[in-house]
Every structure is written in structure tokens, then in C-alpha cells.
Structure 1
Amino acid sequence: MIHEVDDTLRALLRAEVLEGAQIAVVFDAPTRDWAAKVNAPTVNLYLYDIREDMRRRERGLYNEYDERGTVVARRRPPRFFKLSYLITAWTKRPEDEHRLLSSLLSCLLRYEALPPERLTGILGDIGVAVPMTIALPPPEDRSFADVWSALGGELKPSLDLVVSVPVTESPTYPAGPPVGDEGLHARFGDHAPEERGRTGTRRSMPVYGGKADTEPGPEAGSETGTARPGLSLRITETRGDG
């Protein structure tokens, strides 16, 4: 996913900002040693932070269907991860760097997500929007001065680009066979199912919420052995060989 975002950003900037100009687009860490070797106009998109976007996390499971519309598996929804890029311009004059940063800012402000027509690979296949923000204030637990200190370089004007990329890799849980009505039968009758006790009495199994009636059966000397009328529901299941 990360390399696909890199490719999309490079293509976007070259097409809408650089427009064929001899300016390189790189993703190197802008350390002091790297800066000393830059000898041509360059736009650097340094990926300095990767963390999950908790505001976009979803619960539950997604269903996967076959060609007949039957659920065959379930999986977790995609999780979004924020890729934070430090964008800097490198030329011989600060005025040219400022002009280049202005063009980059104007281009990225036109989009709230990466253009769908420029997405490739898995990002293009899943059909999910890839949101992005540009030049927002950094979170409280991070400052750009700390980033430059960690790189060992001097503080330089920069743009902070954050891309929320969906990651679809997650466990897949196979679904059981669909429930059909060929093996399930419901029968209604005037009496609840009956059992015979050890003493020969015939007992009516109670319907949920009702009372069982016990009357002497023929084995106990009763001539009729009829049970008190009631309503019951008997559910049986039949299983085939396959």
C-alpha cells in the first residue's frame, strides 16, 4: 500500500505541478549529509510517521458473497493508516523554493482524497477513497522541529501531507452452509408431546409457559386415558446423508 501511495503522489505532482520541468521527486530522508549532495532542483516527500487513524476504525464483519448471492465468508472491515509526509523543496535560492512550495500547496489543496483515476494496484482495485490533508497543525505529541532534530538537519520550510490509506489484509472467517427449510418441519397439534412414566402414567410435556397435565393411562387402569386439550408446537429436524 505504501509504495502505491508513493507512486500516486509522484505522478500527481509531476503532472499538475512540475509539468515536465527538470525537477526530481524523491522520498529520501533529508539529513544533513543528503542535503549536501543535492545539486539539482528537487521535491522531497519524506515519509516520517505511520500510525492508525482511529477515527476511521469500524466494528463488525463484512460479508463476502458468491455468484448466487450466498454468504461464503466474513472478514473485518479495512483499517486506515495515516502516512505522514514531510514535503520540502530544494533549489539554490530560497525564493525559488518558496515558489515551488506555493505550487505544491495549491495543487494538493484541490483534493480531499487522492484522485481515483490515478490509483493503481490494490488501491485502485478495492474502490475505497483515500483521504488526505495538507498543512494542518501537527498533533500535540509531535512537532516538526522534533522531526528535523531527529534527522540532524536544519529547520526548513515544509508542508505536512497526511494520507489515510486503507489496509484490507485481515483474517477471513468461512461461513457455514446456508440454512434451508428442507430439513426443518414445524407441526401443530391439539396436545403437547407425551411421555410415559415408570408408573404407566401418561404425561404431557408442557408447552413453554404452560403446565403439564398428568392423567392415568390405560396401563394404570384408565379406560380412556385422555389428556387435557392444549396447543403445542413440535419442531423436528431431518438430516440427509450429504
Structure 2
Amino acid sequence: MIHEVDDALQSLLTADVLAGTGVEVVFEAPTREWAARRNAPTVNLFLYDIRESVVHRQQGRVPEYDADGTTVAIHSPPRWFALSYLATAWTKRPQDEHRLLSVLLAGLLPHPVLPADRLSGSLRALGLAVPCDIARPPGEGRALADVWSALGGELKPSLDLVVTAPLSAGRRVAAPPVTDALLVRAVDASGGPLETPAREEVRRPRYEGDREEPGAPAVPVGTRRVRGEAARRPPPGPVPR
């Protein structure tokens, strides 16, 4: 899922936001050594924090149906994770870097969610909107100055980009539909004389493709339908009560 968010951001920035500028989009750690090797205008999206978005957590199960409307699998609700990127611009002059940051800000603000045509893999398969927030204030315990200190670099103007992406929590194949015959018996319990036999009504289930012959006996509970030669054998005797 993380690499699919990377691909979506790179596609969005390269093809839409920074189209025609020749600016490269990378995901490197902006350390002193990396900055010294850079020799072209670059936008760097450094993934510095990954944590679950508990406000998106859901309970329950989601059924999956086939073309006939039969439940074929059960899904747990996806878990959502906030991926925080440190977005920085790298050029020869600070003014050009500020212009690049302005282009990023203006280009990403109209996209509160990542465009569906930029998603791939599991993100596309889930079919869910993927929120994208630019310049979000860092949460508790995520000071950007601390990030720069950990990288060993100098503090630099940056944008905090947070993408909240779903991750499938698992798929469990459902048991096949029950095809056992069912015997329905109604008994007259009105309290008549003991010598009066109880009146019973038996209803034989119908299945698509079955041919019900006159006088065909009902199938006892728990007996699976049979076909071919086994279907022509005499049924078992009545179940004692």
C-alpha cells in the first residue's frame, strides 16, 4: 500500500502539478550527503511517519457477492494509515525553491483526495477515496524541527503532506450455500383424544432443475440431495417419534 501511495503522488505531481517544468520528484531522505549530490531542480517527498488513523477504524464485516448475488467471501473493514511526507524543494536559489513550494501548494489544494485514475494495485481494487492533506499542522509528537535534527540537516522551508490510505484487513472465503433438503412438519397439538392420530403436513422443498414426481417422498432433515442411480433408490423408512 505504501509504495502505491508513492506511485500515485509521483504520477500526480509529474503529470499534473509540475508538468513541463522538468522538476524531478524523488523520495530520498534529505540528508547533508544527499543535498551535496543533488544537481537538478528537485521536489523531495520524504516519508517520515506512518501511523494508524484510529478515527477511521470500523467494526463489523463486509460481504462480497458474486454475479448471482451469492455471498462468496467476508471482508473485515480496511484499516487506515496516515502517511506523512516532508515535501521540500531543492534548487540553486531560495527564491526558486519558494516558487516550487507555491506550485506544490496550489497544485495539491484542489485534490482533497488522490485522483482515482492515479491509484493502482490494492488501492484501486478497494475502490475507496484516499484523502490527501497538504500543509496540515503536524500532530502531537511530530515537530518538523525534530525531523530535520534526526536527518542531520539544516532546517529548510517545507510542506507537511499527509495521505490517509486504506489497507485490506483480510478476506475469508464463505462456506458454500446449504443444499440439504428440509422437512417441514406441522402437528395438530389441539389436545384431542389419544386414539386420534396427529395430523401432519409435509412440504417438500423445490430446487431449480429438480423434477417433482407425483407421490415423491419428502427428504429427511440432514440428508443431502443425491442424483443419478442413488436418487432412484427407495427412501429410508420413517423416523420414529
Q: Aligning the two structures, in what range does the TM-score lie when normalised by the shorter sequence? A: 0.7 to 0.9
* 1:52 to 1:239, Cα distance in 2 relative to 1, 3 A: same
- Matches of residues 1-242 of structure 1 in structure 2 within 5 Å? 1-170=1-170, 172-178=171-177, 182-191=181-190, 238-242=221-225
Q: Secondary structure at the match of 2:43?
A: strand
CA distance in 2, matches of 1:175, 1:8: 33
Q: What is the aligned-residue RMSD (CA, Å)?
A: 2.9
Q: Is the 8 A contact 2:73 2:174 kept in 1?
A: yes
CA distance in 1, matches of 2:124, 2:173: 26
Q: Is the 8 A contact 1:185 1:237 kept in 2?
A: no
CA distance in 2, matches of 1:18, 1:177: 51
Deviation of 1:191 after TM superposition, in Å, equals: 4.5
Deviation of 1:180 after TM superposition, in Å, equals: 6.7
Deviation of 1:73 after TM superposition, in Å, equals: 2.1
Q: Which runs of 5+ in 1 are unaligned?
A: 193-223, 228-235
**Larger Rg over CA atoms:** 1
| Number of residue-to-residue matches in the alignment | 209
CA distance in 2, matches of 1:177, 1:129: 32
CA distance in 2, matches of 1:186, 1:75: 37
Q: Secondary structure at the match of 2:103?
A: helix
1:108-142 deviation per Cα after TM superposition (whole angstroms, max 9, x unaligned): 10111001122223322321111111111111121
CA distance in 2, matches of 1:163, 1:184: 56
1:54-74 deviation per Cα after TM superposition (whole angstroms, max 9, x unaligned): 111110111122232111221
Deviation of 1:81 after TM superposition, in Å, equals: 1.0
Q: Which runs of 5+ in 2 are unaligned?
A: 197-218, 226-241
Which structure: greater strand fraction? 1
Q: TM-score, normalised by structure 1?
A: 0.77
Deviation of 1:184 after TM superposition, in Å, equals: 4.2
Q: Is the 8 A contact 1:79 1:168 kept in 2?
A: yes
* 1:118 to 1:177, Cα distance in 2 relative to 1, 3 A: closer
Identity of aligned residues (%): 56
